[in-house]
Amino acid sequence: MQRLRVRVGWDGVAELRSWPSASFWPRGAACARPRGGGEGRHEMSAQVSTMARHPWLWNPATYCHPWSTLAMTSGQRMGVNRYLIRKHHLAMPAPVGPDQRPLVDMMTAAWERLDRMAFLLGCFVARPHLLAHRHWVTLDRDARAFLLGCLPAAGATHTIGGGPVVEAVGALGRQRMHALAGKLPAWLGDRLALRFADPGRGLPWTTCDAAGLWSASRHAAKTA
């Protein structure tokens, strides 16, 4: 079996040397087939159903930087996916409690729109500053409509420093989305953290505003 050899340069660019040809899912507790009677088979059936509805669950190469920027063959992508699943211990879906169900359903349904949601969330958090300094005129038309139509954030807002406004708002939104990972089940939160991992920004850790998240989700779905 070939082994995956990866070199990531200082600029974040990854180079593929080879890839494994073994089965896609790694052995181990995170992705093991449940044992037991009917309950175990039912859980496995639910996992397979979830994976079929949301193929990004087994395809982290499409959203994990720097892999998402690379052109790969299907064989290379399979190898990278297996490598990422092993490296980050990405688990298969597990049953979700009623307290987490609304948030999990929203995030899984909106996965393909999460980048846009993150940008709108950044607009929501920085709304007072954007409006006060007329930075909002530099945003796209859809973001301006969201900014002018949403309610003000209840908690502390963020002040944008120098530099391009669009980049600053995007970084702020990605940081808030990354902070949301801890409120989700591990199988989903770990994938969300990978998608919005952005350690180079240096923004302080914070929480994700629930009102802003739901507002951004509704607006992104409406304009998709």
3-state secondary structure 34-96: CCCCHHHHHHHHHHHHHHHHCHHHHCHHHCCCCHHHCCCCHHHHHHHHHHHHHHHCCCCCCCC
Reported in sequence order, the residue ranges of the chain that DSSP labels E, i.e. its strands, are 5-8, 14-18
Inform me whether the pLDDT recorded for 208 exceeds 80. no
Provide mean pLDDT across the span 61-75. 90
Q: Using 50, 70 and 90 to split pLDDT, how confident is the model at 107?
A: very high
Provide mean pLDDT across the span 124-137. 85
Inform me whether the pLDDT recorded for 69 exceeds 70. yes
**DSSP secondary structure code for residue 87 in this structure:** H
> Residue type at 7?
R
Mean pLDDT (the chain) is: 77
Candidate ranges 91-100, 111-120, 171-180; pick with highest mean pLDDT: 111-120
Q: Using 50, 70 and 90 to split pLDDT, how confident is the model at 10?
A: very low
Q: Residue 84's pLDDT is what?
A: 94
Provide mean pLDDT across the span 2-23. 43
Q: Residue 45's pLDDT is what?
A: 59
Q: Residue 46's pLDDT is what?
A: 59
Q: Is there a contact between 178 and 192 (Cβ–Cβ < 8 Å)? A: yes
Structure tokens at 202: 């240096």
Provide mean pLDDT across the span 198-219. 72
Q: Model confidence over 14-60: pLDDT tens digits?
A: 444 444 343 444 444 344 444 455 555 555 555 656 666 788 888 99
Q: Model confidence over 131-182: pLDDT tens digits?
A: 888 888 889 999 999 988 876 655 555 666 656 888 888 988 898 898 898 8
> Residue type at 31?
C
More confidently predicted of 22 and 77: 77
